Chains A and B, each alone.
Chain A
Amino acid sequence: MRRAFLLNRLLTYTALVFAALLILFPLYWMATTSLKIPRDILRTPSLWPHTFTWSNYRNLIEQRDFLTAIRNSLLVAAMVTLISVAISSLAAYSMARYRTRFRGVFGRLILFAYLTPTSLLFIPLSIIMAQLQLGDSLVGLILVYLTFSLPLSTWLLQSYFRSVPRELEEQGTIDGLTRLGALLRIVLPLSAPGLAAVSIFTFTGAWNELLLALVLITSAGKRTAPLALNYLITTDTLPYGPLMAGAVLSSVPLILLFFLAQRFMVQGMTAGSVKG
Chain B
Amino acid sequence: MSRVSPLTRRRMLGASAGVAALAVGGRGSALAAPAIRKGSTLTYWGGLIFSDKANKTLTDAINKWGAQNGVHTEVVMVNQNDTVQKVSAAIASGTMPDALDVGLDLLIVLSRQRVFLPLDDLYASIGKKHGGWLAPVEKASLMNGSRFGIPFGISGNMLVRRNDVLSPAGFPNPPATWVDLVAQAQKVVKPPFFPIGLCLGNCGDGNTQINVLQSYGGRIADDSGKHATIKSDATRTYLIWVKDAYDKKLFPPGVTAWDGAGDNNAYAAGTIAFAANTGSIGIAARNDDPDLYKGTAYSSLPAGPLGVISPMDPQLRAIPKSSKNPEAAKALFEYLTQPEYTQAYYADAIYGPVLQSEMELSVFNGKDPILAGLLDLVKKGTPPGYPDAYNAAYADVCSNFLIPKMIQRVVVDRWDFDRAMDEAQRQTQATYNKYA
Residues of chain A having any CB pair with chain B under 8 Å? 37-39, 42-43, 45, 63, 122-124, 126-127, 129-131, 135-136, 211, 214-216, 218-220, 230-231, 233-238
Contacts and interface: CB of A to CB of B under 8 A. Distances in A.
Nearest to A130: B93
Given A126-B92, A135-B93, A233 B265 contact: no
Contacts of B90: 126
A238 B89 contact: no
Given A215-B89, A238-B264, 9 more contacts: A38-B284, A42-B265, A122-B89, A218-B86, A231-B79, A233-B79, A234-B79, A237-B264, A237-B280
B80 to A, nearest CB: 5
Q: Is the interface of A mostly helix, strand, loop or mixed?
A: helix
B279 to A, nearest CB: 10
Counting chain B residues whose Cβ lies within 8 A of the other chain, the interface size class is: 35 or more
B97 to A, nearest CB: 9
Contacts of A214: 82, 85-86
A52 to B, nearest CB: 17
Interface in B251-267: 260-261, 263-265
Given A219-B76, A231-B79, A235-B81, A123 B284 contact: no
12 contacts: A45-B269, A131-B93, A135-B95, A136-B95, A220-B77, A234-B79, A236-B50, A236-B261, A236-B264, A237-B261, A237-B280, A237-B284
A123 B94 CA distance: 11
Contacts of A127: 92-93
Contacts of A45: 269
A246 to B, nearest CB: 15
B264 A43 contact: no
A152 B254 CA distance: 38
A137 B383 CA distance: 42
Nearest to A135: B95
B50 A237 contact: yes
B191 to A, nearest CB: 16
Contacts of A218: 76, 78, 86
B244 to A, nearest CB: 27
Contacts of B77: 220, 231
A211 B92 contact: no
B291 to A, nearest CB: 9
Interface in B37-86: 48-50, 52, 76-82, 85-86
B144 to A, nearest CB: 24
Contacts of B278: 236
A42 B268 contact: yes
Contacts of A219: 76
B288 A38 contact: yes
A120 to B, nearest CB: 11
B270 interface: yes
A231 B50 CA distance: 10
B88 interface: yes
Contact of B85 (A122, A220, A238): A122
Contacts of B205: 236
For the complex of A and B, list the 4 residue pairs with the smallest distance between their C-beta atoms, beginning with the closest. Answer: A130-B93, A126-B89, A236-B260, A38-B288
A157 B95 CA distance: 38
Interface string B355-384: 000000000000000000000000000000
Query: Which of A124, A127, A129, A218 has the most chain B CB atoms closer than 10 A to its own CB?
Result: A218
B289 interface: yes
Nearest to A239: B284
A235 B260 contact: yes
A130 B288 CA distance: 43
Contacts of A215: 85-86, 89
Contacts of A216: 89
A230 B287 CA distance: 21
Contacts of A233: 79, 81
Contact of A43 (B80, B82, B260, B270): B270
A114 B48 CA distance: 32
A234 B85 contact: no
